[in-house]
A and B are shown apart, each in its own frame.
Chain A
């Protein structure tokens, strides 16, 4: 099959590799019809994530058609499914509490050592995201092997197009969970740092959960425009002082709930080593690492802070005093995707949530290398690239579809 493989910093290639096969009884093989490049894939692309190996297949946002099933899979050939990016067993204590991203058994036993050493306990497995998260081949390929296929994938009814449901795999549940963790009450003003896909879904979700106002913070004009379309007010932090703006825009009180959808991403896995690299990196900008500190300082007394942003290691100068003195609540975590998928699929089917606005580019899998470069270099214009293995090659690579 053809697959997008990682070979090093800014070196990803579409190559021919062996097709995946059924190995365990609960496995299924999915023929990929749509797969997105995630913002966090760019950190692999930038070479920040340790425990990557040359030839690793990337991609953790994908969907497709079931083509083969193991003896204990509940799926049937021909079914269309969206696959959660978190690999969870469904049988451990955490899965029984719907804490799927904390699954005890998603990681192969040998891969659990690193996470255990860094975090105290191993987390669930992830598709296409280094060997620390299991070393599972990702979905930016023609086919993928899906473990625990009787627990993860959600079946999509016929007639619902891929673009409407693809983001159930990661970013929509992630935005929704973050808004839920903000415990929004009627009348609330919610501030959202970062208008990438997750931040934009936070904006949408916050309004659905009854927020009176949402204030979105970013510096890419196109992304702020998208937030405005959902009814958010905006702060461009290159134009205005964020804390001061938030205080003025909330009558001196501060937002009732603050959502950090920026974070360090997985850079923090070895923050000390790459701290300088992060600071000079154009992708990271200069003050994104401050989003959680800013959120804590701006949040009103007794308010809630929700942090879908991925942090992997240690953060300096965490304002613990402000956090304690103001009596804030912080909720965070990787997304329990499996828990949110059914309700969110219903919301999509009932047209309560539309996620297709996010897709700025569609291209064949064969052009994935150009896709990564575009997404990396043009953050304002490129909000989301969806790769379609079955799509005909465009005459001019990288051209907008």
Chain B
């Protein structure tokens, strides 16, 4: 799988686990990269990659499993307007442009100028080895709101993009493998509070 995931070249591990951070090298590999913090995760999903890509590619589906994404509005073929929760009951917005789109395989994006949280990234849909469904590999570069202080505050409120990406990918896996997102809520009102 070494050819599909960006690595340092010194070993086959992805840049996202590089001890030095990997953000600079990752930015070199992303079209129109934006952002200086790197986050990334791979999740195995027990389904073929085409339906996973199809679900993801319809960005209006994303709020179903991306906890912090309030809404995604499609502006045209390539551009979409994102409204995302931020610490302190605020929301941030940006317009995202698709920079790479290979059906069944890759979606990459970058934020337009003036984004509250400049970001770019790529989601890859790969055949998992051994016929075990698919690997979904997300690589995200971002500038946390108000720099490092903002990152600390966001982490306190669990809105830090790296934590969020990890949990969002788990929810995506749940939705694709089970048709629903696991919750321990006992009542519908509890559930609404949790997902609000």
Contacts and interface: CB of A to CB of B under 8 A. Distances in A.
B55 to A, nearest CB: 15
Nearest to A25: B180
Interface in A16-32: 17-21, 23-26
A148 B183 CA distance: 11
A297 B182 CA distance: 43
B196 to A, nearest CB: 14
B178 A148 contact: yes
Interface stretch (A106-114, A338-346, A366-374): A106-114
A91 interface: yes
A21 B188 contact: yes
Contacts, number: 85
A134 B184 contact: yes
Contacts of A314: none
A131 B183 CA distance: 12
A57 B185 CA distance: 12
A105 interface: yes
A92 B187 contact: no
Contacts of A104: 173, 177
A373 B185 CA distance: 29
Contacts of B44: 93
A147 interface: yes
B146 interface: no
B186 A20 contact: yes
- What DSSP secondary structure best describes chain A's contact surface? loop
A165 to B, nearest CB: 25
A127 B184 CA distance: 9
B91 to A, nearest CB: 20
User: What interface size band does chain B fall in?
Assistant: 20 to 34
Contacts of A107: 182
B131 to A, nearest CB: 11
A106 B182 contact: yes
A196 interface: no
A274 to B, nearest CB: 25
A136 interface: yes
B181 A89 contact: no
Given A21-B188, A110-B167, A91 B46 contact: yes
B182 to A, nearest CB: 5
A137 interface: yes
Contacts of B187: 18-21, 23
A125 B181 contact: no
B179 A105 contact: no
Contact of B182 (A19, A109, A113): A109
Contacts of B184: 108, 111, 125, 131, 134-137
Interface of B: 44, 46, 132-133, 158, 163, 166-168, 170-171, 173-174, 177-188, 191
Given A23-B187, A111-B184, 20 more contacts: A21-B188, A23-B188, A24-B180, A24-B182, A24-B183, A26-B179, A89-B177, A89-B178, A91-B46, A91-B179, A92-B46, A92-B173, A92-B177, A92-B178, A105-B182, A109-B174, A110-B167, A125-B184, A131-B184, A136-B184
The 9 A-B residue pairs with the shortest CB-CB distance, nearest first, are A109-B170, A135-B184, A24-B180, A91-B177, A89-B178, A109-B167, A136-B184, A20-B186, A105-B174
21 contacts: A18-B186, A20-B186, A21-B187, A23-B185, A23-B188, A24-B180, A24-B183, A87-B182, A89-B178, A90-B178, A91-B177, A92-B46, A92-B178, A105-B174, A108-B184, A109-B182, A110-B158, A110-B167, A125-B182, A147-B182, A147-B183
